Amino acid sequence: MTTPGPTPPEPTPPRLGPRAPAPLVLKSGTSWADAWRRCLAVAPEAFRDDRVLNLWNSGWRPDGRALPATSPVDGGPVAGPPRLDGATARSAVRAALDQHRAWRHVPLAERRARVAAALDALAEHRELLALLLVWEIGKPWRSARADVDRAIDGVRWYVDGIEPMTEGRTPLDGPVSNIASWNYPMSVLVHAMLVQALAGNAVVAKTPTDGGVACLTLACALAVREGVPLTLVSGSGGELSEALVRAPEIGCVSFVGGRDTGAAVATAVADLGKRHVLEQEGLNTWGVWNHTDWDALTAVIPKLFDYGKQRCTAYPRFVVQRALFDDFLAAYLPAVRTLRTGHPLAVEHPDDPHPSLDFGPVINAAKAKELEDQVTEAIDRGAVPLYRGKPSDARFLPGQDTTAYVQPVTLLGPPPSSPLHHAEPFGPVDTIVLVDTEAELLAAMNASNGALVATLSTDDEATYTRLAPQIRAFKVGHGRPRSRGDRDELFGGFGASWRGAFVGGELLVRAVTQGPAGERLPGNFPEYHLMP
């Protein structure tokens, strides 16, 4: 009999590395096809199987040449603008004048009721409007919802308080024409259109070329059902400007966009003596001088990247006292490393909540390439890269097109020859300029001949009080960001950042109505500059 040997040990299981995360998926019910089906169901008069319609002469019309368009989110097809020719646009403006002549005599109480009903309809479909913004212009869900809600809540404020704002005033002689950029279709463009109508004017608007046509079409369809006199047309700015800017029927031109296009509009309206509100870009700056509250700066940095800095009130330039640069970096870099980017609708599981992101894509792949080329050129000419986000840290769907995505970049000392030195990049690119004296600080903060907002972080209240009036921005914050604002907050710009009447609160109504003879509206006009 043999004696059994010792029991052999159990084999050691192989060591396993961390499990790879499951691929992200599209949140259930949020595809472009889902959004389009809902548009067809909600407003069949304004949407066809494969296109949106133009709205003029009180009806939706299948005219215009529909251009192909893609979503910045994943490069997939979305609805393109149905571009009208100049002759049709002139017909639309003449029809809007007929609407205007009737609407300006509608009693204020009825105008209030119709605009309020339009707001109720927008609120009912706020989720769909927000989803369209995600696909058409790449807004993260939180930003898209905020855009819709600010439009609705802002106009309600005017509905509730319109009587004293219009007392002793009358509508303009012709409709208001709106030409706006793509980044805030609801809280800027639709908001302005409904307040202009509430004040007694028919309203004409051009859809932005770069995105937002479906969202604007749905919003206008809901408002027109309630009897609000709106016209919405698509087309190239060059071809439609004769009708939308120069036509004698137009009572006021409202423009939001870049300086090059804005300068052409400003020249036209000045030649014609036409009422105008022209909001143009500027390089908004954040100065740091004799400052020690670095925790406060760290907390605000991620918020400044909201929507990838594709805002007229974004802060892409920091002007920092050289002696504080090490402390500034210690506060700035940890904050910028927390930024979350990626596909706005990519989740771990189909029924998960929408992802919480700081920003998604920029408006299109061409803009992404432009920014990347500008960064490369600036570095080649001497700028120092301090931070670059990694695409591998972003949240994307497997195999999706990512050509419209730009990760955050921070450059020290952009050369004077670079556009990043003097112009707003309109993307997630920060630049830092170091200065040694207060005079240098002010010169660097005023680099673009006027801005909409600025901020100065300094511990000394007296220093802020002394320097803030010398900063050429309409709003200057003390250690906190300023925004366009809404409701009763005034808004305008200095220098080349603004032409015409200021807006916000009562001033928005005054800008699109007629007051007593000889009235001088607060604003930045060729012949005078008047602060509120």
Q: Given pLDDT bands bounded at 50, 70 and 90, which one contains residue 153? A: very high
Pairing of strands 82-83, 77-78: unpaired
Distance (Å, rounded) from C-alpha 159 to C-alpha 444?
A: 42
What digits encode the pLDDT tens for the residues 293-345?
A: 999 999 999 999 999 999 999 999 999 999 999 999 999 999 999 999 999 99
User: How is domain 35-280 classified at the CATH fold level?
Assistant: Aldehyde Dehydrogenase; Chain A, domain 1 (3.40.605)
The two structure tokens encoding residue 409 = 């970049």
Q: What is the mean pLDDT of residues 412-438?
A: 96
CA angle centred on 311, ends 466 and 361, rounded to 5°:
140
Report pLDDT for 393: 93
3-state secondary structure of 478: strand
Q: What is the mean pLDDT of residues 83-101?
A: 97
Evaluate whether 341 touches 360 at the Cβ level (below 8 Å): yes
Question: Is residue 1 scored above 50 in pLDDT?
Answer: no
**pTM, whole model, 2 decimals?**
0.93
For a pLDDT cut of 70, what percent of the chain falls above it? 95
35-280 and 285-478 agree in CATH topology? no
The two structure tokens encoding residue 270 = 């000045």
Distance (Å, rounded) from C-alpha 523 to C-alpha 531?
A: 6
What digits encode the pLDDT tens for the residues 227-237?
A: 999 999 999 98
Q: For the chain, give every domain's residue range.
A: 35-280, 285-478
What digits encode the pLDDT tens for the residues 36-52?
A: 999 999 999 999 988 99
3-state secondary structure of 74: coil
User: How is domain 285-478 classified at the CATH fold level?
Assistant: Aldehyde Dehydrogenase; Chain A, domain 2 (3.40.309)
Phi, psi values for residue 460, rounded to 5°: -95, 115
Distance (Å, rounded) from C-alpha 274 to C-alpha 524?
A: 14
Helix H or strand E encompassing 326: helix 325-336
Task: Indicate the average pLDDT of the chain.
Answer: 94
Report pLDDT for 2: 45
Give the HSE-up count for residue 283: Cα atoms under 13 Å, Cβ half-sphere.
23
The two structure tokens encoding residue 171 = 């509508």
Evaluate whether 468 touches 353 at the Cβ level (below 8 Å): no
